[in-house]
Amino acid sequence: MVDKGASVNLNQPGSNANFELIQLWKDIGSGYHAPIFGIGGSGVESTQNSTNDNLAAGGVYNGESEYVLHYGEITISVIADVISAANGIECLFSFDNVDWHVTDEFEINSEDLDTVKTWKIQRVLPYFKIRYTNGASPTTHFHLTVMYSGVASVQFSHRLDSDLSGVDDAGLIKAILAADSGDGKSFQNISVQNPLPISPYRVFKPDIDRDTSTSTNWTGGTVVTLFDGSGVLVNSTSENPKTILIDLKKAIRTSILGIGTVAGTSFSNTKITAILGFGADAISTVLIDESGDNTDKTLLVPDIAPVEFNQLLIEFHTADTCALAYVVIVKAISTISRIQGSKPDGTIADFQATTAGNFKVSLEEYETGVVLPVSPEEDYFLEVQRGNRTGKSVVHKFGGSASVVATLVPVTISNTYNTPTAPVALEFLSSSANDNSAGSGAREIIVQGIQSAVTWELSTQTFATNGVTPVAIGSWLRIFRWLVSESGTYATPAAGSHAGILTIRVAGGGATWTRIPITPFPVAQSQISVYTIPSGKTGYFRSADVYVDSTKSLNVLCFQRPNADVVTAPYSSMRLVNQWVGLSGEMHYEPDYPNGPYVGPCDFGFMAQGSAVASDITIDFELELIDDA
């Protein structure tokens, strides 16, 4: 034990500083002393956890253990010319100098190169060391320094012209916000009397790029002056035209702008041009051209159509003196409007909009006064499904697979969707004799697909079942839906509508095309996430819901094969439409506008790919079909 106020050398590895004792010290043996409370004094550089040696690609610097109980704060500073490994700066602490624990992790990113990055941490355990893991490139300029301080301050600083990143330390503080006053040199505190200079309604000085905006030969201020009312720009030279270029930090859209000046000053011969883009690709739109009008004005508000621009060029085509005090540009605001009208009975009703954003209008109702079955209030797709939209229909397809592995397969129960170039004779059978026309299981099935290689039209056929005995169902090019239409059992959760696994295969016991399982339940419906758009119809992809086992991840690809009826070379390619990589869990896809068009005959559907471990997936999707004629 030593007295308060005495000076003692801590005698630690890498520590050579003397400290004034603020509280009592304890001799812990082997020449070490530890404070019972705290100490003061200046920071000390660690020689056991600091280095200037360059690191090879992937190289690791391991600091040595140091007893740090008498310190309150540790500062780590790094300068490197290449990035570190992810979380490559590790702060390790130990209770006993045996078992080590990582308490903090940092890293050097590309934006940190060749700058000093500093982190402060509090000492949490008696022993400390640092480990630095380099990235994929060797360093040629590298310094790592660790400093120990007696009292924990954990204060941070950051340059105003540099953005914060996720690896910067942060502290909980009470702050006063200050904003650039507009001259790029001074700042003003933000308050109720001096709010943030940001307006969603008009262009304000923070919207102006002061470095690229120009007002050559104009006195009294800069371009920014025109947006804060701080003065009047005057050009008394004889140059013609006199120009002011306002360069915005980002493009805006407006239909309202104006320029003006104060009493006793004026301008004339004005031309205003809006510019969108830069250089040779820029698009210029003349908003007003009064370059031939020498009438003195103090205000000009041109009547303009909505226009988008990132630069505004104001010209005064005169040798006379011109002055300008302000420019007002109102930003266009997107709004949702409600329009109502009077009905024949005197009541008020809302106008309705179509999916495309147009007014819903019934010519028949307008011309004849006859109220049609389809009213403006009714849902479009409901009316399509009810058959009230001639020539339009919606196809809802769904399917799934419980055995997606590393091979890309169609999302169907059988992992197949056959697409022969000529019709193939097929047969149907069940694995149970009870699935027959008089049995307790499936008695009748309906099959839907494409049969004719000439017309490629939709074909729907009905067949009686015959148990385990194959039933010929004709020749088909595609089968994209089939189901049990009649059963000998009034189905319950305990007993389904068919007794066995139902299979459609190539006639004569050939390859399986599609099947309906009985596990976990006889679902009586095919599950095929593919559809072939028949000839004479055009499809539009509207939405999809994908569900993947949450413990797995799959790649899901959406394909189309246009001109499916072209069966001799050159063929149309089977093309990717959409792709989702590494899906896990649920995903809903609904574009702002339907994908398409997909002109029939056209194969459209989904395929999936996973890993060596089988994964589950189900996909529901919807196509809107419109008759071509």
Shortest CA distance to 80 belongs to which of 48, 52, 42? 52
pLDDT score of 334: 53
Per-position DSSP letters for 201-237, written without gaps between them: SB--GGGB-TTT-B-TT-BSS-TTHHHHT---EEE-S
Q: Identify whether 174 is part of a domain.
A: no
Could you report the per-residue pLDDT of 221-261, keeping only the tens digit for each?
888 888 877 889 999 999 999 999 999 998 988 888 999 99
Q: Compute how many other C-beta atoms are within 10 angstroms of the C-beta atom of residue 472.
A: 11
Q: Is there a single domain that holds both residue 555 and residue 437?
A: no
Shortest CA distance to 146 belongs to which of 190, 90, 216, 84? 90
Residue predicted with more confidence, 10 or 468: 468
Distance CA 483, CA 488 (A): 15
Q: Is there a single domain that holds both residue 37 and residue 125?
A: yes
Beta strand extents in 452-610 (DSSP E only): 458-464, 471-476, 478-487, 502-506, 512-516, 530-533, 537-548, 554-561, 575-583, 585-589, 595-599, 602-609
Q: Is the dihedral of CA 360, 366, 371, 372 positive or negative?
A: negative
pLDDT at 577 over 50: yes
**Tell me, what amino acid is at 196?**
L
Q: Identify whether 79 is part of a domain.
A: yes
63-83 exposure pattern, b = at least 16 Cβ within 10 A, e = fewer = bebbbbbbbbbbbbbbbbebb
Q: Which domain holds residue 75?
A: 7-149
Asked if residues 524 and 496 have their Cβ atoms less than 8 Å apart, the reply is yes
Beta strand extents in 236-306 (DSSP E only): 242-254, 256-260, 270-276, 283-289, 299-300
pLDDT score of 182: 54
Distance CA 189, CA 211 (A): 24
Average confidence (pLDDT) over 544-564: 94
Average pLDDT in the chain: 85
| Phi and psi torsions of 382, nearest 5° | -65, -40
Q: Which of 322-336, 342-356, 401-415, 544-558 has the lowest mean pLDDT?
A: 342-356
Q: Which of 39-53, 126-140, 450-464, 472-486 has the lowest mean pLDDT?
A: 39-53
Distance CA 601, CA 436 (A): 34
Residue predicted with more confidence, 618 or 339: 618
Average confidence (pLDDT) over 317-327: 94
Q: Compute how many other C-beta atoms are within 10 angstroms of the C-beta atom of residue 610.
A: 25
Q: Which of 149, 169, 191 is where one domain is finished? A: 149
Asked if residues 309 and 275 have their Cβ atoms less than 8 Å apart, the reply is yes
Q: Is there a single domain that holds both residue 142 and residue 18?
A: yes
Q: Identify whether 183 is part of a domain.
A: no
Average confidence (pLDDT) over 486-511: 96
Q: Identify whether 173 is part of a domain.
A: no
Task: Please report which confidence band the pLDDT of residue 200 belongs to, taking 50, 70 and 90 as the band edges.
Answer: low
Could you report the per-residue pLDDT of 207-228, keeping only the tens digit for each?
888 889 999 899 998 888 888 7
Q: Identify whether 601 is part of a domain.
A: yes
Q: Identify whether 615 is part of a domain.
A: yes
Q: Is there a single domain that holds both residue 374 and residue 442?
A: no
Overall number of domains in the chain: 5
Q: Is there a single domain that holds both residue 503 and residue 573?
A: no
Question: What totals of helices (H) and strands (E) does the chain contain, helices first?
Answer: 3, 43
Q: Is there a single domain that holds both residue 23 and residue 144?
A: yes
Percent of the chain at pLDDT > 90 equals 62
Q: Which residues contact 22 (CB under 8 A, 6 or more apart)?
A: 4, 35, 37, 38, 39, 40
Q: Is there a single domain that holds both residue 45 and residue 79?
A: yes
Q: Is there a single domain that holds both residue 24 and residue 119?
A: yes
Q: Identify whether 187 is part of a domain.
A: no
Q: Identify whether 198 is part of a domain.
A: no
pLDDT score of 340: 74
Q: Which of 293, 311, 330 is where one domain is finished? A: 330
Asked if residues 145 and 91 have their Cβ atoms less than 8 Å apart, the reply is no
Q: Which of 198-207, 475-484, 582-591 has the highest mean pLDDT?
A: 475-484
pLDDT score of 166: 62
Q: Is there a single domain that holds both residue 283 and residue 354?
A: no
Average confidence (pLDDT) over 4-22: 43
pLDDT score of 378: 57
Q: Is there a single domain that holds both residue 15 and residue 136?
A: yes
Residue predicted with more confidence, 185 or 177: 177
The domain that contains 87 carries what CATH number? 2.60.120.510
Task: Please report which confidence band the pLDDT of residue 101 belongs to, taking 50, 70 and 90 as the band edges.
Answer: very high
Q: Is there a single domain that holds both residue 141 and residue 29?
A: yes
pLDDT score of 362: 55
Asked if residues 109 and 83 have their Cβ atoms less than 8 Å apart, the reply is yes
Burial class of 354 by CB neighbour count within 10 A (0 to 12, 13 to 18, 19+): exposed
Average confidence (pLDDT) over 89-104: 94
The domain that contains 615 carries what CATH number? 2.60.120
pLDDT score of 363: 44
pLDDT score of 180: 63
Provide the token pair at 222: 């800069």
pLDDT at 32 over 90: no
Beta strand extents in 407-470 (DSSP E only): 409-410, 424-430, 442-450, 458-464
Q: Is there a single domain that holds both residue 324 and residue 214?
A: yes
